[in-house]
Structure 1
Amino acid sequence: MTTADQTSPGLSFTPFSARTQGAPGFIQDVWDKIPLPRWLLITILVATAFLLVSCLLCIICCCCRCQQKKKRVKKETVGLGRASNSTSAHLVQPDVDDVELALEGPKSGRLQVSLEYNFRSQELRVGLKEAADLKALQAAGMADPYARIHLTSDPQKIHETKVHRQTLSPIFNESCVFQVAQAELPEAILVIQVLDFHRFSPHAPMGELRIPLGTSDLHHVLEQWYELGPPDQAKQEPMGELCFSLRYVPSMGKLTVVVLEARGLKQGLSDSYVKVQLFLNRKKWKKKKTSVKRNTSNPYFNEAFTFALPFSQIQNVDLLVSVWGHSRLSRGEPLGKLLLGCRATGHQLHHWSDMLAHARRPLAQWHRLQSPEEVDKALQMKKGLRLPLPDS
């Protein structure tokens, strides 16, 4: 009995090859039914395949990185566990030098200073080259630094450098000379203070350097970098501050001094006033003073004084501004003085120069009062009659 005879008359079988031939026709029908051009469909399919491949690659890379991190952590753990005790102590405990540096605290910066002593003339020449890595005291991150130099053996003589604007690494390139006897060298100390200049507020100290001359080899020229220490505010004895403005009109020959206010004056003397004097050729010439402010160490004056001063005499005039105080039990005594003019130094000279450079404009500035003895010594006042100027 054949195979054809074994099958039922109502059944028919389709060969396998005949069934597979229907697939291409189905895909073609679906492709034809999509209402899009073929180039757009091909682009969509390629983009989708690219996105899928990219996602798979990203997942594989992330898994590889996670495995590498786990392996590194395991290796480090094993390495520390197998390490000897000496190696662990070396890694954990800091050196003695590191501990000393940590105890010293943050540095205030560095100064490059040169010292040269002349044994014949007994003069010490101090050269202040530059500063670096100063610490800003304001949130802006910058400062207006300047340096103040003096010797402990002669604290009355102070040299102040120029103010350098908006920098933490000023280049000074200034020098000054101090008269120091050879017998005073073992106990003399050179003090260099770096301060942040503020026109309408107290100057903030940024750092201080103290160089003992007795331990320095002054037989040769010394030039090196020094670390700035923190400012020694305990040894500073301020006598107070005074704010006033200057205005000069060359065409009219008039100098106007406006005494604004003072602060931080001596507490024992409750009453205070300000005296403004002009010296011509180091001789007393003109004088005016403010009213007395009682029972306050921060008096407010706001009084203006005008002096006739021809421009031809501007080089020969010194302006002396002094603050006086008195109480019921004592007569008036000077609390502090300031000397301005072409022979002045420091911020007083800068204020006077700014007044001449900006004619007709009032320029106000705070000044730290200096000791009366120091100003009188710098003024070197001559005795004589008051000299009147023409048209004064």
Structure 2
Amino acid sequence: MVYCLWRKKRSQSQYEELLSSVPAVPACSPPLILVSQGLWTTPDEIPFALPPRFMTQNQADVKKKEDKEGEELKMEVRRSILDHRGSLSVSRWYPVGTVLAGLYSVPLNEVVAPPPGMATRLCFSVEYRHGSEQLMVSLLRLGNLPPRFHGNVTLVELRLLPDDRRPRQAKARGTGPDPEFNDCFVFQVSRVCVPQGTLSVCVLSVEQDGKRHAVGRVLFALEGELGNAGRVLWRDLETEDQTQCSELGDVQISLSYSPALQRLSVVVLRARGLQLLTDAGVCVQVSLQIHTQVVKIKRSCVAKGFNPNFNHRMTFKLRSQHVDEACLRFELQEPNNVCSEPPVLLGVLVLGPFMYARGQQLQHWMDMVNTPQEAIKLWHGLGRAT
């Protein structure tokens, strides 16, 4: 019995000595985390444990008296657990396990370094949170920017197609060949619609006088890509020269709108990859439509060749209150050899707001509205008449 009492008194004195090393923390102070000076594990493991919950001095005294008997009984079990897991040996720390330091030994610069090659690449990550139905897009940096853009300000416009009508902008924090962004954007989208969405990222270079140049764009389809949440992704920017022609051909259109003059300016620049039947040439018919009513119809000059150049400018009167209700319909027509016969329809293109267009056609119209009095030039694929 004398030995048991002596051992009990010794364990109690050790327990009180460990508690006395913890400073009394006032109630208004933020919580602190104890850090021991010893080395508990091997260098390739980092101990991970839940910190104690600190209390004021009065609360600690009351709690110590209530838990003294229970702590004495659990002391031996706790010592065995600490020895087994290799975690902190400070009293009231609850060991959870260890973190492998080798997983985090690679520097961040090596993770986001651009892959080898000369193409301009965009570094970003995408994560969808099902609980809040939010799509998190982290824009990290650009790589291998062309030399002519090194001294300019780099802007990035993000949209979630087909429904997003307002672009999100990010400005690079520096210049040079690899400008960095480190911005995060949140898109509120339901879990039913997110697999059908496409993330559109347009990279622009802005000169000192405010003139913009399109560097390229990335169209990232979300279907099948949300399983790798948070993974760093690299995608090459698509330029106009790299864009493949559609089945019926493409047409390049420039749009600009002046709210002060209430004037919509359209320039039909050129076409490529047309499926011509004869060498009679091709013309473009442009119709301004508000709801189901055709307001005005204009035609361009006739140009010949499979890649004709038009450079034909047209202007339409359009009030500001009708901008979200109007659309432009482009019809590429090949004149018929027989004058009495109607021209052959080669392809159709519709540019307008959400009720008329989707994807790149909608984005072109919204860029025109958001940047008044500035010409927005873009290629579009032709579709079949419905």
Query: TM-score scaled by structure 2?
Result: 0.47
- Max Rg structure: 1
More helix by share: 1
